[in-house]
Structure 1
């Protein structure tokens, strides 16, 4: 696959459309760091240690979710105000005692901090990501400076445009999900009559980034994930939604953001799944049966693994 063979880790196509790299300091307040993620529509940012003058971990939405669900109750988050206002109020009332990035970064243990040299070829980077089951790597130049962030979602987005131009990828894309034996992972889901707060508790407990939502008949009707937190705006009273039933939470979110919940059937092709993921910028694809009951999940890591395995043949 030419893309993997020709691009280096320093390529400007990463980490996003504007090739902008955002980071936070370990001494930043959680409020400041959260605003950095939200304003740039990102789920994670590398953390800089000014004392040692190096980056050492990631600060992510999942870290914040873990702290929220383990240090407070839903009643604390029903008060008025945006997330920054509520955080500051909880800190003032000693209900949320952690105040800076260093206090909570990497608490979710979902983003191991692995770095690669800027001259590393992309095929080696993707192999490293699959081997270590990681979603992102930091890229450092010869001076030890952060020069790039490569994510599995961005790699997949780039590859989604190449099916018509790469013969190897074209052949792989014709195979069905069932034929490739992916999308067989157990589905973690929550009933639509549960509280949204319970969904985030489940996300934290299971160490995942998102869960499916099913109706009383067991049919898949949506999903809740850490990506939801990206739609918070300065005046958006997002936190008050957490005490709503999941069905009402999803309805409220649809009014302010596109729904990127996607699904497929076992017979759908790998190409269609990858292109759908890239178009919707989704982080998972639920596999459903003829009754629309979820029977599996295709993760970004599953997709990347198939690409790496095929590339090595």
Structure 2
């Protein structure tokens, strides 16, 4: 077995593997293993990275999306949208036309923008401004419709999009959810960051496939 070279770099920041873990793992294997703890750590991390990359290419949006989606229509008053989001405990909803096609998405950030007149992702900062600085425009906002508040066009993915593509899109766009659409653009489901976490945790189960 090749020894590791000094030029090899392994990122352990997300693995949490300690020397004690390695020694325990090595002791649990029967027989003699001609490998150093350093080699063991490098081998584990490389294998883990390859396994996760393979996992990201094998799981599709269809596999992890929620199919029961809370949605609104463009003519719904913003007050109704807020009520729906509050009742269902969601931080964003897709806006659909009469055929179920995704027109846009309304998030908490979109609603905060209407109240403050400026972009902010900090709800507590928005609340502080409303309470202390007189910057809350509640009365005019009540007259708005969902179609006037939504971010459009919505960022969406197809049902066949792989996990790696979904994670990259969420990160690049700085969003927390992705509507999943069928070939005709109709809503098929939605993926939240929590769905990504759950899928990744399932993929970390240790098994040996031959």
Structure 2 residue 83 is matched with structure 1 residue 183: no
For the aligned residues, what is the CA RMSD?
Answer: 2.9
CA contact (8 A) 2:61 2:191 kept: no
Query: Which residues in structure 2 correspond to 1:48-197 (within 5 Å)?
Result: 166-178=49-61, 181-197=63-79
Residues 230 and 281 from structure 1, CA distance in 2 versus in 1: closer, same or farther, beyond 3 angstroms? farther
Corresponding residue for 1:36?
none
Hey, which of these two has a bigger chunk of strand by percent? Answer: 1
Task: Output the CA distance in 2 between the equivalents of 1:286 and 1:184.
Answer: 10
Task: Output the CA distance in 2 between the equivalents of 1:6 and 1:200.
Answer: 40
1:249-293: CA deviation from partner (whole Å, max 9, x where unpaired): 23xxx6xxxx69421111111111110001111111111111211
Residues 267 and 216 from structure 1, CA distance in 2 versus in 1: closer, same or farther, beyond 3 angstroms? same
1:311 shift after superposition = 1.9
1:216 shift after superposition = 2.5
Structure 2 residue 156 is matched with structure 1 residue 273: no
Task: Output the CA distance in 1 between the equivalents of 2:112 and 2:49.
Answer: 34
CA contact (8 A) 2:111 2:149 kept: no
TM-score for the superposition, normalised by structure 1: 0.42
Unaligned runs of 5+ in 2: 1-10, 18-47, 119-128
CA contact (8 A) 1:263 1:288 kept: yes
TM-score for the superposition, normalised by structure 2: 0.61
Corresponding residue for 2:107?
225
* Structure 1 residue runs of 4 or more that deviate by more than 6 Å after TM superposition: 234-237
Residues 248 and 260 from structure 1, CA distance in 2 versus in 1: closer, same or farther, beyond 3 angstroms? closer
- Picking from 155, 164, 188, the partner of 1:262 is 155
1:208-250: CA deviation from partner (whole Å, max 9, x where unpaired): 1111101233211111122324543479775423421211223
Which protein shows a greater Rg? 2
CA contact (8 A) 2:103 2:153 kept: no
